[in-house]
Amino acid sequence: MSDDAAAPWLVVGLGNPGPEYAGNRHNIGFMVADLLADRMRGKFKAHKARAQVVEGRIGPPGPANRRVVLAKPMSFMNLSGGPVTALRDFYKVPLERIVAVHDELDIDYPTLRLKLGGGDNGHNGLKSMTKSMGPDYHRVRCGIGRPPGRMQVADFVLKDFSSTERKELDWFVDRTADAVECLIAEGLERAQSAYNS
């Protein structure tokens, strides 16, 4: 147990690498990871696990201050499981200390929900992670809503947030980063009661 107690948390922002994807709905996980890195005053560096990582701490000084590895897998979304599993093994992170931050179609924009475990709901990043590690990791689910009209899901998630959505995007990313910090410092129930909407 003592080894486990010293293990860091691994916060994975899910997205696709490359500037052409940066503003996509599918990349909200990357946006949150970038903000958390800024708050930790860290810069992402390449890791051999095909990911960019920042190591630092989250939470107030004292016992709630936690060691954290922030990661952005540099594989494409549907291959996220490989880099995440490699990071888990490298940093010796127990599954219940892994947090995936991702877009969620079945929740309206800009709504946030946190949970532990569950299905992948058709999300390719989660599908890949669950296939590699099992489902029992934390999820911070950023609602993006469903595509309008007959638009295909794949087209919708790979489009940038609309101009209307962008008015609330900074607030949403900020709130999501707060929720991640709360989850790590104070636990899932506290974070759910404060941030689930």
Q: Note down pLDDT in tens along the chain; length 197 residues.
A: 345 778 999 999 999 999 999 999 999 999 999 999 999 999 999 999 999 999 999 888 888 789 999 999 999 999 999 999 999 999 999 999 999 999 999 999 999 999 999 999 999 999 999 999 999 999 999 999 999 999 999 999 999 999 999 999 999 999 999 999 999 999 999 999 999 98
- Which of the residues are catalytic? 26
Backbone angles phi, psi at 4, to 5 degrees: -60, -40
Q: Report yes or no on whether pTM surpasses 0.85.
A: yes
- CB–CB of 148/108 below 8 Å? no
3-state secondary structure of 38: helix
**Rounded CA separation 127/119 (Å):** 8
Handedness of CA 77, 81, 82, 87 (dihedral sign): positive
Residues in the chain: 197
**Rounded CA separation 118/135 (Å):** 6
In the chain, where do the E strands start and end? 9-13, 45-47, 51-58, 66-73, 98-104, 112-116, 138-143
